[in-house]
Amino acid sequence: MSERLQRAIAQAGVTSRRKAEELITAGRVTVNNEVVTKLGTKVDSHDHIEVDQVPIQRESIHTYLFYKPRQVISSVKDNKGRKTVLDFFTDFSYRLYPVGRLDYDTSGLLLMTNDGELANHLMHPKNKIPKVYVAKIKGNLKAPEIKKLVHGVMIDHKLSAPAHVKILSNDYEKKTSIVQLTIHEGHYHQVKRMFEAVGHYVEKLSREKYAFLTLESLNSGEFRELSHEEVYKLRSL
Ligand code: URA
């Protein structure tokens, strides 16, 4: 399958597509040892591409929807010897990595890919990809607190973007609530800190949805490859 040169460079994780275009027009890219400065030049998997004389790593592109269990770290290595998301993908020769992070004690939907361009697109704050979390919190969430979450709360001296909040259940005896929170930001411990900002400790957290994707038909620890249609849809978000 042929693709545009700038896309091949971006997909290899070298840089963004726009920066790849700059590298091409600056004459820093060769295809089969010839400098190519024309944007949109088509290449296929057999072409040898170098940026500043360094060959780019081209592999077939794959994206998986993974149901991350708790007690698994969302990085490709852990210096404390904990289980990582890559321990679930040992049979693959290409280098997958997670799109964003879920905390060690958070379960749920995590995309794993070797498509650098797709990962950049999904993680760029301007694209505002909605993510749906379900949290079990200490204490029952009250109307004024919901209002605050909806309007945004202060995290690191900045107001969080408005959230969508839905109480799924209240246990008035145990004094806990199960709350669905939809946000598009992805700061460190974002959901836990948002609830903390309105006085509730998150006991359990899972991500149930990422854009239009859900965990449907997967058990914890399982994954499936995304279809071309799903990847196309993610790209166009
Ligand atoms: N927000 C959190 O606090 N933790 C996660 O893992 C994801 C979002």
3-class DSSP assignment, residue 222: coil
Selecting among 44, 52, 103, 115, the annotated active-site residue is 103
Q: How far is the CA of 160 from the centre of ligand 1 (A)?
A: 14
Helix count and strand count (H, E) for the chain: 6, 17
How far is residue 51's CA from residue 101's CA, in Å, rounded to a whole number? 29
The ligand 1 atom at the shortest distance from the C-alpha of residue 101 is 6
- Topology of domain 3-55, CATH: 3.10.290
CA distances from 123 to 67, 127, 131, 132, 184 (A): 19, 8, 12, 15, 10
Determine which residue's CA is closest to atom 7 belonging to ligand 1. 102
Nearest residue (by CA) to ligand 1, atom 3, is: 189
Q: What is the pLDDT of residues 105-117, one digit of tens each?
A: 999 999 999 988 8
Please, what CATH class does the domain formed by 130-210 belong to?
alpha beta
Residue 145 has pLDDT above 90, yes or no: yes
Residues within a 6 A CB radius of ligand 1: 102-103, 106, 189-192, 205
How high is the pLDDT of residue 59? 78
pLDDT in tens, 172-226: 999 999 999 999 999 999 999 999 999 999 999 999 999 999 999 999 999 999 9
Paired strand residues for 98: 112
d(CA 59, CA 79): 27
- Choose which residue among 67, 73, 106 to substitute to test ligand 1 binding: the one with the highest number of ligand atoms within 8 A of its C-beta: 106
Q: Do domains 3-55 and 130-210 have the same CATH topology?
A: no
- Whole-model pTM: value is 0.85
Domain ranges of the chain: 3-55, 63-125+213-235, 130-210
Region 77-92 average pLDDT = 92
Q: Is 44 a catalytic residue?
A: no
Q: 151 CA to middle of ligand 1, Å?
A: 19
Q: Which residues are CB-contacts of 183 (< 8 A; sequence separation ≥ 6)?
A: 130, 131, 133, 160, 161, 163, 164, 190, 191, 194
For ligand 1, the distance from its centroid to the CA atom of residue 191, given in whole angstroms, is: 5
CATH number belonging to domain 63-125+213-235: 3.30.70.580
Alpha helices in the chain (DSSP H): 5-11, 17-25, 116-123, 143-151, 190-197, 228-235
